[in-house]
Chains A and B, each alone.
Chain A
Amino acid sequence: MPNARTSIWTWAFGLALLAGLLVLPQVLSFSQREIAVLLVINVLLVVSYRLMTLTGEWSLGHVVLMGVGAYASALFSKRLGVPVPVSMLLGAVTAGVAAAALSFPLFRMKGFYFLIGSFAAGEVIRLIWKYFTFPFGGPKGLKLIPGFPDIGPISFFEPEIYYYLCLVVVAISVFILYRIERSRIGLTFHAIHWQDKLAESVGVDTFRYRMLAFVLASFFAGLAGSLYAHYIGTVNPTRFDVEEMVYVLIWAIVGGTATFYGPIVGVVVLTIINDVILRSLGLDEARPMFYGAILIASVLFLPDGLESLVPKFKRMFGSAKSTPDREVAEAREAS
Chain B
Amino acid sequence: MTRPILEVRDLSRHFGGLIAVNHLSFAVQPGSIHGLIGPNGAGKTTTFNVISGFYAPTHGQVIYQGRDVSGTKTARLAAVGLVRTFQGTTLFKEFPVIDNVRIGCHASARSSFMSRILGTDRAVEAAATRKAEELLDFFGLGDLRDEKASNLPHGHQRALGMAVALAADPRIILLDEPFTGMNPEETARMMALVRDVRDRGITVMLVEHDMQAIMGLCDTITVMNFGSLLTEGTPQEVRTNPQVIEAYLGSPAHAA
Contact = CB atoms under 8 A, between A and B. Distances in A.
* Direct contact, A vs B (beta carbon within 8 Å): yes
B88 to A, nearest CB: 11
Interface stretch (B5-13, B58-66, B115-123): B115-123
Contacts of A188: 103, 106
Contacts, number: 82
Interface in B94-120: 94-95, 99, 102-104, 106-107, 109, 111, 113, 116-119
B85 A201 contact: yes
Interface stretch (A40-48, A51-59, A108-116, A191-199): A191-199
Contacts of B92: 190-191, 194-195, 198
A315 interface: no
A203 interface: yes
Interface stretch (A90-98, A177-185, A244-252, A292-300): A177-185
A205 interface: yes
A197 B75 contact: no
B111 A184 contact: yes
A322 to B, nearest CB: 25
A206 B83 CA distance: 16
A176 B106 contact: no
Interface string A189-221: 011001101111111111000000000000000
A171 interface: no
Contacts of B118: 179
The interface residues of chain B, by DSSP majority, are classed as helix
B72 to A, nearest CB: 12
Interface residues of B, number: 37
B84 A201 contact: yes
B83 A202 contact: yes
A75 to B, nearest CB: 28
A197 B86 contact: yes
B189 interface: no
B129 to A, nearest CB: 11
B51 interface: no
Contacts of B75: 200-201, 203-206
A310 interface: no
Contacts of A194: 92-94
A6 B211 CA distance: 54
A289 interface: no
Contacts of B91: 195, 198
Given A184-B109, A184-B111, A200 B117 contact: no
A187 B92 CA distance: 11
B116 A201 contact: no
Interface in B151-165: 164-165
Contacts of A183: 116-117, 119, 121
A184 B185 CA distance: 37
Interface of B: 52, 73-76, 78-79, 83-86, 90-95, 99, 102-104, 106-107, 109, 111, 113, 116-119, 121, 125, 128, 164-165, 167-168
Interface of A: 176, 179-180, 183-185, 187-188, 190-191, 194-195, 197-206
19 contacts: A179-B116, A179-B118, A183-B117, A184-B106, A184-B116, A184-B128, A185-B116, A187-B99, A187-B103, A195-B90, A197-B74, A198-B86, A200-B78, A201-B85, A202-B83, A202-B165, A202-B167, A204-B103, A206-B75
Which 4 A/B pairs are nearest by Cβ-Cβ distance? A203-B78, A183-B116, A202-B168, A203-B107
